[in-house]
Amino acid sequence: MSPLLGLLLAASIDGGAALRHASALAALGPHPWGSTRNEAAAQYVAAQMRAAGLAEVELQRFERHGIQGTNVVGTLRGPGEELLLVGAHHDTAPGAAGAYDDAGGVGVLLELARVLAAEPSRTRSIVLVSFDGEEAWATGKGTTAGSRAFLERLGPRARSLVAAFVIEMCGWRGGTPALQPIAYADPRTSGGTVVAPGWLVRAALSGSRAAGAPLALGDPYLSWLYQPAVRAFRVRLYGDDVSFLQAGRPALFASDSSFSAFYPDYHKPTDLADRLDPDALARTAQAALGVVRALDRLPPGAAEEPHWFAVFGGVVDWPWLLGMGALSVLPGLWASYGGGALPFAARLLQAAGFGVLLWGHPVPALWVFLLPNLLLPFSRRLWAVLLALAPLVSLVAVGAAAWWRGAVNGVWLAPWQVALGILALVLAFVGRPGRSSVRRSPGRGRGGGPPKRSRR
């Protein structure tokens, strides 16, 4: 084989190789955190990282709640102190072989290790980690034990972590690879949330496009609805990104399960390797490679940048969201001006209530109120009302459907914020639509001339 051909083969993703790795791990059968089989899974991943060309591979032992676990950490050194992390997890839920969750992700991780190890240079060190204990919830011992242990082991060096990109549940031929920027509880505040920063989402979207494997945002069909939904409802789905976000570090995970197409064998004994597809694994791996290359070139971004909205392949930042919200209340104020003190006061109260929600929860607030703010001041016909309320109805519907399936367990908004939202929506219907702000002169008819006398 010529050196050039070998270099080209090394630089290309092999979905078949990712599938072979996933099949080997799934063949172990269920291997939950702390089990003997799970230790065999860690040993397999470590051996394959070394075979992929990583000189530094560590079996990182840890203990949580009396259970032993092992993270597998491979490092590709770069200049400086900055780190870029790529992760997956090798443990399974009890009773599940875990081909999809997450042997497929580990297979992709090992392919990334092989390709990245062959690249001549990098801007910063790339750390490839196969975490243990991601499914710790199944033991009743918390969540994401391995990634939390990894962060503790990093200690002060965690400040050098530019970003963490986690590969979850992938390889299903019926899925579409997508970023999953889910909101999680912020342990530092009461009722607050953490979510992937906007710059990281922007970089992941552009990097995957540049690699020829564009990632969707949340869902291939419901991307716009997905974003307010995961910020309004407490979604139970998570990845190892939660450990990093709750520690104040930028993180994001990707999967090819979504709202509209969720893997049917999730956490079941039927989650076997024959459910996986090499082309599907290759798509996720190619997208992930593009994300890693994009992040390797970027300067570090803000650790926290939670308020953004992804649209048409770009990301709209918080100042623009606030500006859109502020402009949206102007039609209602204009239409109510001159219509009497009560309608104008109601509109001012509506704008204030909406403003409070916009400040704290801009994405759900804009989703629910943008069309009512823009349409209802001009028309109350049935079509306008239905169109104005459609975003709210769709949001409630998807939340109810997710709750029925056990995918959500509440809302992020406090009860007073929900009550304020209802009041602001009711006040959006106050006042006559389309009323001019200029009062008619007394004694003049609709046409501007003198009033007509009625015939006796």
Taken in order of first residue, the domains within the chain and their CATH numbers are 3-306 (3.40.630.10), 317-427 (no CATH)
Band (139; pLDDT cuts 50, 70, 90): low
Mean pLDDT of 422-427: 96
* Whether residue 440 has pLDDT greater than 50: no
* Contact predicate 287/276, CB 8 Å: no
* Contact predicate 283/216, CB 8 Å: no
* Cα–Cα dist 380/433, whole Å: 7
pLDDT at 392: 98
pLDDT at 268: 95
Mean pLDDT of 434-439: 49
pLDDT at 438: 44
* Whether residue 409 has pLDDT greater than 60: yes
3-class secondary structure, 430: coil
pLDDT at 259: 87
Mean pLDDT of 28-56: 97
pLDDT at 186: 95
Going across the sheet that includes 178-179, the strands are: 56-64, 67-76, 125-131, 83-89, 161-167, 251-255, 178-179, 216-217
* Whether residue 98 has pLDDT greater than 90: yes
Please give the sequence-ordered ranges of beta strands (E in DSSP) within 274-319, or none if there are none: 308-311, 314-317
pLDDT at 434: 67
* Whether residue 166 has pLDDT greater than 90: yes
Band (435; pLDDT cuts 50, 70, 90): low
Mean pLDDT of 271-283: 97
* Contact predicate 73/126, CB 8 Å: no
* Whether residue 15 has pLDDT greater than 80: yes
pLDDT at 340: 86
* Whether residue 3 has pLDDT greater than 70: no
Mean pLDDT of 72-80: 96
* Contact predicate 423/353, CB 8 Å: yes
Non-local CB neighbours of 51 within 8 Å, separated by 6+ positions: none
Dihedral class, residue 342 (left if φ above 0, else alpha if ψ from -120 to 50, else beta): alpha
pLDDT at 7: 41
pLDDT at 200: 98
pLDDT in tens, 147-162: 999 999 999 999 999 9
* Whether residue 345 has pLDDT greater than 90: yes
pTM above 0.85, yes or no: yes
Band (142; pLDDT cuts 50, 70, 90): confident
Q: What's the chain's average pLDDT?
A: 92
* Contact predicate 167/284, CB 8 Å: yes
Mean pLDDT of 112-137: 95
Least confident residue range of 19-23, 177-181, 259-263: 259-263
Band (432; pLDDT cuts 50, 70, 90): confident
* Whether residue 329 has pLDDT greater than 80: yes
* Whether residue 5 has pLDDT greater than 50: no
Least confident residue range of 129-138, 214-223, 229-238: 129-138
pLDDT at 456: 38
Mean pLDDT of 188-215: 96
Mean pLDDT of 167-178: 96
* Cα–Cα dist 275/262, whole Å: 13
- Of 424, 403, 409, 416, the C-alpha closest to 353 is 424
- Nearest-10 Cα torsion for 261, 108, 243, 46: 150
pLDDT at 338: 81
pLDDT at 136: 86
**Backbone Cα Rg of the chain:** 26
pLDDT at 421: 97
Mean pLDDT of 370-379: 96
